[in-house]
Structure formats: structure tokens, C-alpha cells
């Protein structure tokens, strides 16, 4: 064989191997995906700032209704670009990414027809502009002249934003599709709380106080200029906020809808079905969600009754919960003890058990802190990707007796490890496409279903699934603790029934609360808050149970197909590797993983096998050639 021939064979091998990595179809796909990711971030400039992306720090998100058609046209153009790619020529992994991007664009485009429904109700107890100033001051950089130029530009956009909200609310009134009173109950107080005092006392002025003196590249005159200018713009901003709240009081509140659910709007039940589909990422009708809820409630209650019989308690599950509220072994002695109990649970109970079910556990810092305001019992806030800003697990200490000790474990598993914190940390270790790395958009669900999906059905489902992992980790140490776990799952199942009940079957508030009092164990305060939330964000609370059931189903499938080759740690690693994804994509990811794992001959991971396979075949080819 001539040297020339050897070289050309070698080249052939190199081409085969590298075409695997980046053929031009994959490259083109990635550039579409990237363009889309940047465009999507530019639509949510405040969110980008909180994520440390400082490219849009000089503007605020637009709520301008006249922009809708332009946004739709841009989304359409991404679909056209995707369509030009030959799907069959992409490797399996890229096909999965392609499917997810396509799903994102299609979800947005099919939400367009509902743009004059939910999206017009842009202010409520859960949505609106009151928390934006505080969020911006907390997350924006203020160390260079450029930072101040941006921020100064940005505060000038506030008055326009308030006018855009007024325009939306006006259309909601005109179209006779407004919120119910429970969605607006605290709105006036929320506005009042931020609108007291002079411009210099408003939170947006804070960076112009001492911090400004630290910027050395600014002259004295420039600093004075900024301060005077800021006062002027903040005064206009405060006036704009006042105009918005007075519009709400005078024009919007008198026209609130009287029925609790959005099903009472014209075409409201179709709108609700679309919102539900947006959250669940899958074609599942309200009626089916309701059926699943009823079945799950029955199944979980049967399990609970069995445990109660075992410990000799005769009565309902709510009576049981009430009875342990009086038992000092299961109640908290002081508020101060609460945070320490959680820290102990996370560090000493959960962490040592994680390696049983997980591998390559990332170690991003997590703090346990009391919630600054009364609200949901617990909340998780992700930290920065590099760990410089720690994640926070907030515990609400305003109503400490709402929760008994057996409830602590599922809450900790859900919010921290292996729930949200492990999921977010794992996600920050992989190189996800930009739009999936920053998946949350504006955080505001009033825009559903005319919005890009955040695929929280996965993270919510994962967190609920994480609660069940306390069993194989041996963390529910007795039957009382086990009942704490079931109570939590039961509540999520009840929410399927209540969400569809309110918005699809026209339930009243009394009926919703009565259902929750009969079938769940949580206190009245929590239940009332939850009902208000369900009314305000139709469909959102259904994500947890539906997502969890999908994860469980896929796990059973993998166990059945792989049998002795099933490794729970590998399975979890695969689930956590992709970030939040729609359920169909999750299904395909797991199916692919099952095939790869089934085919691997050794017990090494599939990718290692693949790598060595490639090396060996390359050497073999070279050997034959020479
Ligand atoms: C800025 O400083 C002034 C004067 O000390 C003070 O009255 C005001 O409350 C400060 N504003 C903020 C938002 O901290
Ligand atoms: C608004 O909608 C409700 C419920 O569909 C209906 O009962 C009411 O008559 C409508 N009001 C107007 C002014 O159209
Ligand atoms: C790749 O995807 C196809 C479906 O498009 C599937 O049938 C096949 O088994 C997948 N192969 C691997 C290795 O995952
Ligand atoms: C798995 O093995 C089967 C049978 O040996 C083969 O047909 C298939 O292509 C393999 N799939 C992968 C993804 O390696």
C-alpha cells in the first residue's frame, strides 16, 4: 500500500469521526438555537439582569400590545429556518434538541390566538410591576460609568411601562375578560407599600446615594447631573404608578368577573384547556386531569388509611393531623428551632444518603433563611452558576404552627436535595442551549399561553418525585413521618381536582375549599392562599403531580426493559442532564438511554463504551490499511 493511500484512508477515518461531531446541519441548527436564545433573553431584560446577562440593562420589558404581531412574525421566521433543515440527517441528540426548540416555538405561536385573554390581565396579587424596582436594585451592577448610564436609561422606561399596563387592563375590561376579586385582593396594599415618601426615598434612588460616589470615572458635575435627573425621572415613575393603581381602583375593579373560574369567560373553557396544555407541555384535556386527580387522591388515601390502621388510629386523615398538632413530639417548641431543624435534616440526614441514588453530586452552596415576607410556606431561589451567590431555601416563620415536624422532611427533600437545589445545580454543570439555561422568561404566568414555555412541569415533577425518594433513602423514620410524606403528595393530587374544578367545572370558592378540607390535611390559611393562586394562574399547580407521574412511569419502563442492567444512579443522572424539558422530549431521552444502556456490554456508562468503541475501531482500520 502506497503512503498516499494510507494518508487518504487516514483522512477518511478523520472525516467519519469529525462529521459525527459537527456536520453542517448540526452547526446550522445550533446557530438557529443560539439566535433564538439571544432574542428570547432580549424580550426579558429584567430577567436577563438577574441572571448576570448585562446586555439589556438599559431597558425594561415591553408590555406593548401593538408588538404582538411583530413578535409572532419573528417566531414564524425561526420556524421557517428550522423547517429547512433535513431532520433525518441529524444525530439523535440533536433531533431531541430540535424537537424541544420546535415545541417552544409552536407553543408560543398557538398561544397567539389567546393573546387578548389572560395576557390582558397583567396586574394581580401575583403579577405586575411592584417588585421590579427592588429586584433591579438588588441585581444590577453599579460599579462603572456604563452601569449608571444603563440604569439611568432604564428608569426612564418606567412611566411607559405603567401606560402599557393600563392599556392591557383597559382591553381586559372592554373584552369582558377580567380577573376575579380574589386575584386583586391585596393589590392596593402592595402598591401603597412602595409608594410612600419622596423620590429620594424610593428604592430606585438607592444606587444614586452613596454607591454613586464610588464610581471614580464620574466627575462631580456628572454625579450631580445623575442625581438631579434620577429624582426627576423617579418622580415621574411614582406618578405613573399612582396613575396605574388609580385606574385599577376606578375602572378595573368595578368590572371584575363574578364567577371564580376563567371558564366563565366567553370561550373560557377552551382558553383554560390551552393554558393547561401550556403548563403540562402535553395534550391532556381538563377532564383527564380531573380523572387522574380523583384516582390519585383515592390511591394515596388508601395508603394513608393503611398506615393509620397500623398505628391504631381510628378516624379521618384530617383528624389524625389535628391529633398530632397537640403532641409535643411532633410540634415545634419555638420558631428559632425551625431553621436549625431544617439545617440538620439537610446536612446530617439527607446529604449522607444521596450517594445511594445519585452520582457526581454537585456542591453548590445553599443557605437556609427565614422568608422576608409572609407567603407560601417554603420557597427556593437558585444561586449563580459559579456558586458565588448561594442558593437560598426560604422558610416562612410567620405562621410556624401551620406545619408539624413530620411535614419537614418532604418539604426539605422537595425544595433542596434532591429536589430543586440538586436539579438546578446539576443543570448548571452542563452546557445547555441558552434558551434552556435561562428558561424562566419573565416569571409571570398571566401571559400564558401566549408565551414561551418554561417546562416547569419537569422541575415541579422532579421536586415531588424527590419527596418519594425519602423512602429508599430511609429518611421517613416512622409511620408518622411517612404520613407526612403522603399528606404532601395527597395535596398535589387534590390540586388537579380543584384546578379543573374551578376553571372547567365552574366550582365556587366554597366548594373548592370544602373539597380541600375534606380530602387534604393542610390548614385553612394555606388552602385559601392556594385557591387564590389557582384562580389567578389557571393550570399552573397541576404541573407537579403530572410531571411526577411521568417520571415515575419512565422509571418503571426503564426498570422493566433493563432489568439487571438498570442502575438508578445512572437513570437519575440522565434525567437531570437536560434541564427542564417538555414531557415528550423526556420520554424520548429516556427511551434513547434505555437503548444505549441495553446495548452496552460492560457495566461502564454508555458514553464510555462508545468512546472506547471508536478508539478500537480506528486502530483496527489503521491496522488493516497498513
Ligand atoms: C438616600 O439618602 C437620603 C439622604 O440621606 C435619604 O433620605 C434617603 O432615604 C436615601 N434613599 C434611599 C433609597 O436609600
Ligand atoms: C360579561 O361576561 C359575563 C360572563 O360571560 C356575562 O354574564 C355578562 O353578561 C358579560 N357582560 C357584558 C357587559 O357583556
Ligand atoms: C434514535 O432515534 C430513533 C427515533 O427517531 C430511535 O428509533 C432510535 O432507537 C434512536 N437510537 C438511539 C441510539 O438512541
Ligand atoms: C443495539 O443493538 C442492536 C442489535 O445488536 C443493533 O441493531 C442496534 O443498532 C444497536 N443500537 C445502538 C444504539 O447501538
For 217-242, write each residue's pLDDT tens digit: 999 999 999 999 999 999 999 999 99
pLDDT, residue 445, reads: 96
Query: Which residues have CB under 8 Å from 87's CB, separation 6+?
Result: 95, 98
Strand-by-strand arrangement of the 366-370 sheet: 366-370, 391-395, 378-381
Determine which residue's CA is closest to atom 5 belonging to ligand 4: 599
Look up residue 44 and give its DSSP letter. Answer: -
DSSP letters along 431-493, please? ---HHHHT--TTS-GGGTTSS----HHHHHHHHHHHHHTTTTTT---SHHHHHHHHHHHHHHH
Three state DSSP letters for 86-126: CHHHCCHHHHHHHHHHHHHHHHHHHHHHHCCCHHHCCCCCC
Looking at residue 624, its pLDDT comes to 44
Taking the C-alpha atoms of residue 522 and residue 401, their distance in angstroms, rounded to an integer, is 11
pLDDT at position 441: 62
Structure confidence at residue 438 (pLDDT): 87
Contacts of 47 (CB under 8 A, 6+ apart): 41, 61, 438, 440, 441, 442, 443
Distance of CA 232 to the CA centre of its chain: 37
Q: Whose CA is nearest to atom 8 of ligand 4?
A: 599
The answer as to whether 225 is a domain residue is yes
Q: How confident is the model at residue 622 (pLDDT cuts 50, 70, 90)?
A: very low
pLDDT tens-digit readout, 177-196: 999 999 999 999 999 999 98
In short, whether 174's Cβ falls inside 6 Å of ligand 2 is no
Mean pLDDT of the chain: 92
- Say what the pLDDT of residue 1 is: 46
Q: How much of the chain, in percent, has pLDDT values that exceed 90?
A: 83
Tell me what the mean pLDDT of segment 295-302 comes to: 98
Q: Is residue 422 part of a domain?
A: no
Q: What is the pLDDT of residue 615?
A: 52
pLDDT of 626 reads 43
Q: Is the dihedral of CA 286, 290, 292, 296 positive or negative?
A: positive
**CA-CA distance, 448 to 44, in Å (whole number)?**
15
For residue 207, give its domain range: 122-258
Q: Is the CB of 337 under 6 A from ligand 4?
A: no
Task: Name 338's Cβ contacts closer than 8 Å, sequence gap at least 6.
Answer: 332, 395, 397, 400
| Average pLDDT value for residue range 593-599 | 96
**In a 3-state reduction of DSSP, which class is residue 391?**
strand
Confidence of residue 623 (pLDDT cuts 50, 70, 90): very low
Q: 141 in a domain, yes or no?
A: yes
**Confidence category of residue 402, pLDDT binned at 50, 70, 90:** confident
State yes or no: pLDDT of 601 exceeds 90.
no
Residue nearest to atom 12 of ligand 1 (CA): 206
- Taking CB atoms and a 6 Å cutoff, what residues make up the pocket around ligand 1? 200-201, 203, 205-206, 209
Q: Which atom of ligand 3 is nearest to the CA of 591?
A: 14
Residue nearest to atom 6 of ligand 3 (CA): 592
Q: What is the pLDDT of residue 613?
A: 46
Tell me the CA–centroid distance for residue 514 and ligand 2, in Å. Answer: 27
524/526 Cα distance (integer angstroms):
6
Element containing residue 150 per DSSP (H, E):
helix 145-155
Residue 268 lies in a domain: no
Q: What separation in Å is there between the alpha carbon of 209 and the centre of ligand 1?
A: 6
Q: Report how far ligand 2's centroid is from the alpha carbon of 247 (Å).
A: 21
Q: Ligand 2 atom 2: the closest Cα is on which residue? A: 176
Regarding the beta carbon of 369 and ligand 4, being less than 6 Å apart is answered no
Residue 149 lies in a domain: yes
433 within some domain: no
Which one of 599, 613, 614 would you pick to mutate in the ligand 4 pocket, going by the greatest count of ligand atoms within 8 A of its CB?
Answer: 599
Domain count along the chain: 1
Question: What are the tens digits of pLDDT across the range 435-450?
Answer: 999 887 656 899 999 9
Residue whose cell numbers read 435534616:
345
Whether residue 69 lies inside any domain: the answer is no
Helix 268-280 / helix 543-562 crossing angle, nearest 10 deg: 40
- pLDDT (average), residues 424-432: 90
pLDDT given at position 18: 47
Q: What is the pLDDT of residue 387?
A: 84
The pLDDT confidence band at residue 607, using thresholds 50, 70 and 90, is very low
Q: Rounded CA gap, 226 and 211, in Å?
A: 12
243-257 pLDDT per residue, tens:
999 999 999 999 999
158 lies in some domain: yes
Q: Which residue has the higher pLDDT, 377 or 470?
A: 470
Tell me the average pLDDT across 146-150: 97
What's the pLDDT at 335? 78
Question: Residue 21's pLDDT is what?
Answer: 52
Distance from residue 176's CA to the centre of ligand 2 (Å): 6
- Does residue 31 have its Cβ closer than 6 Å to ligand 4? no
Percent of the chain with pLDDT over 70: 92
Burial class of residue 402, CB neighbours in 10 A (0-12, 13-18, 19+): middle
pLDDT tens string 433-491: 999 998 876 568 999 999 999 999 999 999 999 999 999 999 999 999 999 999 999 99
Summarised one tens digit per residue, pLDDT across range 517-537 is: 999 999 998 999 999 999 999
Q: Higher pLDDT residue, 519 or 6? A: 519
Radius of gyration of the chain (CA): 27
The residues with which 257 forms a beta bridge, in sequence order, are 180
Instruction: Output the nine-digit C-alpha cell for 595.
Output: 437503548
Amino acid at each position: 500500500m502506497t503512503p498516499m493511500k494510507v494518508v487518504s484512508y487516514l483522512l477518511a477515518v478523520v472525516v467519519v469521526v469529525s462529521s459525527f461531531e459537527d456536520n453542517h446541519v448540526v452547526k446550522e441548527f445550533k446557530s438557529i438555537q443560539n439566535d433564538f436564545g439571544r432574542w428570547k433573553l432580549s424580550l426579558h431584560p429584567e430577567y436577563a439582569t438577574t441572571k448576570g446577562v448585562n446586555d439589556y440593562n438599559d431597558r425594561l420589558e415591553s408590555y406593548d400590545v401593538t408588538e404582538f404581531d411583530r413578535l409572532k412574525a419573528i417566531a414564524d421566521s425561526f420556524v421557517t429556518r428550522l423547517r429547512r433543515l433535513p431532520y433525518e440527517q441529524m444525530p439523535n441528540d440533536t433531533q431531541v434538541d430540535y424537537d424541544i426548540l420546535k415545541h417552544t416555538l409552536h407553543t408560543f405561536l398557538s398561544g397567539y390566538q389567546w393573546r387578548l385573554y389572560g395576557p390582558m390581565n397583567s396586574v394581580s396579587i401575583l403579577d405586575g410591576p411592584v417588585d421590579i424596582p427592588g429586584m433591579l436594585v438588588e441585581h444590577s451592577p453599579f460599579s462603572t460609568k456604563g452601569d449608571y448610564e444603563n440604569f439611568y436609561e432604564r428608569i426612564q422606561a418606567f412611566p411607559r411601562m405603567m401606560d402599557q399596563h393600563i392599556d392591557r387592563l383597559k382591553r381586559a375590561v372592554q373584552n369582558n375578560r377580567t380577573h376575579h376579586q380574589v386575584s386583586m385582593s391585596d393589590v392596593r396594599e402592595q402598591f401603597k407599600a412602595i409608594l410612600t415618601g419622596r423620590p429620594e426615598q424610593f428604592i430606585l434612588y438607592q444606587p444614586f446615594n452613596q454607591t454613586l460616589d464610588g464610581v471614580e470615572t464620574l466627575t462631580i458635575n456628572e454625579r450631580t447631573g445623575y442625581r438631579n435627573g434620577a429624582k426627576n425621572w423617579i418622580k415621574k415613575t411614582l406618578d405613573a404608578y399612582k396613575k396605574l393603581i388609580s385606574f385599577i381602583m376606578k375602572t378595573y375593579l368595578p368590572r371584575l368577573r363574578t364567577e371564580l373560574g376563567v371558564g366563565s369567560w366567553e370561550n373560557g373553557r377552551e382558553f383554560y384547556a390551552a393554558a393547561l396544555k401550556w403548563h403540562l407541555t402535553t395534550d391532556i384535556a381538563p377532564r383527564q386531569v380531573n380523572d387522574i386527580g380523583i384516582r390519585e387522591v383515592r390511591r394515596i388515601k388508601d395508603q394513608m388509611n393503611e398506615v393509620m390502621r397500623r398505628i391504631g388510629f381510628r378516624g379521618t386523615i384530617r383528624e389524625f393531623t389535628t391529633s398530632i398538632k397537640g403532641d409535643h413530639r411532633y410540634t415545634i417548641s419555638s420558631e428559632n428551632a425551625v431553621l436549625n431543624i431544617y439545617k440538620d435534616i439537610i446536612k446530617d440526614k439527607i446529604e449522607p444518603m444521596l450517594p445511594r441514588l445519585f452520582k457526581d453530586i454537585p456542591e453548590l452552596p445553599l443557605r437556609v433563611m427565614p422568608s422576608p415576607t409572609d407567603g407560601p410556606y417554603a420557597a427556593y431561589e437558585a444561586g449563580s452558576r459559579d456558586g458565588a451567590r448561594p442558593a437560598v431555601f426560604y422558610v416562612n416563620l410567620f405562621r410556624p404552627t401551620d406545619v408539624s415536624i413530620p411535614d419537614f422532611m418532604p418539604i426539605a427533600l422537595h425544595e433542596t436535595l434532591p429536589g430543586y437545589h440538586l436539579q438546578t445545580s446539576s443543570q448548571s454543570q452542563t452546557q445547555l442551549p441558552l434558551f434552556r439555561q435561562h428558561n424562566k422568561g419573565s416569571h409571570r404566568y398571566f401571559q400564558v399561553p401566549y408565551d414561551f414555555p418554561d417546562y416547569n412541569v419537569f422541575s415541579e415533577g422532579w421536586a415531588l418525585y424527590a419527596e418519594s425518594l425519602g423512602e429508599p433513602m430511609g429518611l421517613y423514620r416512622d409511620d408518622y413521618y411517612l404520613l407526612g410524606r403522603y399528606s404532601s403528595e395527597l395535596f398535589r393530587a387534590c390540586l388537579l381536582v380543584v384546578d379543573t374544578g374551578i376553571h372547567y367545572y365552574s366550582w365556587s370558592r366554597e366548594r373548592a375549599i370544602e373539597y380541600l378540607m375534606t380530602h387534604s390535611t393542610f390548614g385553612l390559611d394555606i388552602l385559601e392562599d392556594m385557591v387564590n393562586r389557582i384562580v389567578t394562574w389557571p393550570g399552573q399547580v397541576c404541573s407537579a403531580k403530572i410531571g411526577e407521574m411521568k417520571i415515575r412511569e419512565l422509571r418503571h419502563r426503564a426498570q422493566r426493559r433493563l432489568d439487571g442492567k438498570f442502575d438508578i444512579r445512572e437513570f437519575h443522572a440522565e434525567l437531570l442532564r437536560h434541564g427542564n424539558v417538555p414531557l415528550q422530549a423526556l420520554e424520548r431521552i429516556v427511551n434513547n438511554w434505555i437503548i444505549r444502556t441495553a446495548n452496552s456490554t460492560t457495566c461502564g456508562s454508555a458514553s464510555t463504551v462508545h468512546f472506547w468503541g471508536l478508539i478500537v475501531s480506528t486502530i483496527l482500520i489503521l491496522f488493516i490499511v497498513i
